[in-house]
Every structure is written in C-alpha cells, then in structure tokens.
C-alpha cells in the first residue's frame, strides 16, 4: 500500500531493483550465503547492476548545480529560554556525489532517531503513539526502524577489501 502513493517512475525503478536483487544470486537464490547483504561478490554484482540500470535511465544533458532554494526564516530557542529567528537558504553542493553522501547520512541519522523513538515506545508503552499521526507511524517511523535493523545501517561507510 505504501508504494501506491509513490510516483510511477519510482515504483517502476524499485520493482526493477527488486527483480535485480531476486536474480543476482542465480542458482544460489535459496542459499542465504549468496544474498547481496552477506556475500561480497553478490553485493558487488547487485551494486553494479543498480548503477548500470541508473546509467541507462540518466536524463540527457549537462550536470548543472541547481540554484539555491528560497530564503526561509528558522526559529530556535536561544540560550536564555527565549526564541530567535535567522534567515536560511538551502544551497546544493557543486558535486552530486557530495550531495548524495549528505542525503544518505541524513537518512541514516533519521533511521537512528526513529529506532531510538521505537525503543522509547517499547519502554513507555503505546501511549506515546498518540503524538505521531498514523501515516507517520506506519510509513516513516517503522520504515526507518526496519531499514536500520534489517540493513544494519551505520554512519560509517564499509570498506571494500
């Protein structure tokens, strides 16, 4: 159900990535030793397949850094317990790879925050859920919690041997 509100091109891409994941182990599909997340060869093949797929979908044209976003006022608590505001403008880094690293780091941090919130919910009980709208709870909260646990996400990049 969560996929239905995603744009069709993204659903199609995720379907193809899912199929790529299913096909990557070849004749070893039933053996967990040959899954992309437990076998370096299968991981490299799966990663290369995703990169190749994305390369085939790349829009034509030159890579140009997008312009900054509109100026926004951000409010925060100051040191004296009052509130203060400042102007802020989102600016893209020149490198798409640097931007991607920032986005991935933010995703991992969000997963960590949501996992910590889930641990708090377990300790304090379900009454904490009243503060989270159902769509946030089901899609984002549990999606991040499960992603962090299932993928063993960390803020550190794993080194290739």
9-46 burial code (b ≥16 CB/10 A, e <16): eeeebeeeeeebbeebbeeeeeeeebbbeebeebbebb
How far is the C-alpha of 19 from the C-alpha of 13, rounded, in Å?
Answer: 10
pLDDT-based confidence at 62, cuts 50/70/90?
very high
**pTM attached to this predicted model:** 0.70
How far is the C-alpha of 13 from the C-alpha of 52, rounded, in Å?
Answer: 12
Task: Please identify which residue in the block is written with the tokens 């041997």.
Answer: 161
Higher pLDDT, 17 or 141: 17
Please list, in sequence order, all residues whose beta carbon lies within 8 angstroms of the beta carbon of residue 146, skipping any fewer than 6 positions away.
none
- pLDDT above 70 covers a percentage of the chain that reads 76
- Predicted confidence at residue 1, as pLDDT, reads 40
pLDDT in tens, 78-89: 777 777 777 888
Closest C-alpha among 140, 139, 118 to residue 129: 118
pLDDT-based confidence at 5, cuts 50/70/90?
confident
Does 61 have pLDDT greater than 90?
Answer: yes
pLDDT in tens, 17-36: 999 999 999 999 999 999 99
Q: What is each CA distance from 104 to 61, 73, 92, in whole angstroms? A: 25, 25, 15
- Predicted confidence at residue 65, as pLDDT, reads 96
- Predicted confidence at residue 83, as pLDDT, reads 75
Higher pLDDT, 149 or 13: 13
How far is the C-alpha of 18 from the C-alpha of 71, rounded, in Å?
Answer: 39
What average pLDDT is seen over the chain? 82
């Amino acid at each position: 159900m969560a996929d239905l509100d995603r744009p069709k091109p993204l659903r199609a891409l995720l379907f193809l990535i899912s199929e790529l994941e299913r096909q990557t182990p070849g004749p070893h599909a039933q053996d967990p030793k040959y899954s992309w997340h437990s076998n370096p060869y299968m991981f490299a093949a799966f990663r290369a397949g995703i990169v190749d797929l994305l390369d085939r979908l790349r829009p034509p044209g030159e890579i140009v850094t997008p312009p900054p976003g509109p100026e926004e006022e951000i409010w925060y608590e100051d040191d004296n317990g009052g509130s203060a505001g400042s102007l802020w403008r989102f600016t893209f880094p020149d490198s798409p790879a640097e931007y991607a690293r920032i986005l991935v780091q933010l995703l991992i941090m969000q997963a960590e925050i949501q996992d910590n919130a889930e641990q708090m919910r377990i300790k304090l009980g379900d009454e904490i859920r009243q503060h989270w709208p159902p769509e946030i709870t089901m899609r984002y909260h549990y999606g991040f919690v499960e992603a962090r646990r299932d993928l063993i996400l960390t803020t550190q990049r794993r080194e290739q041997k």
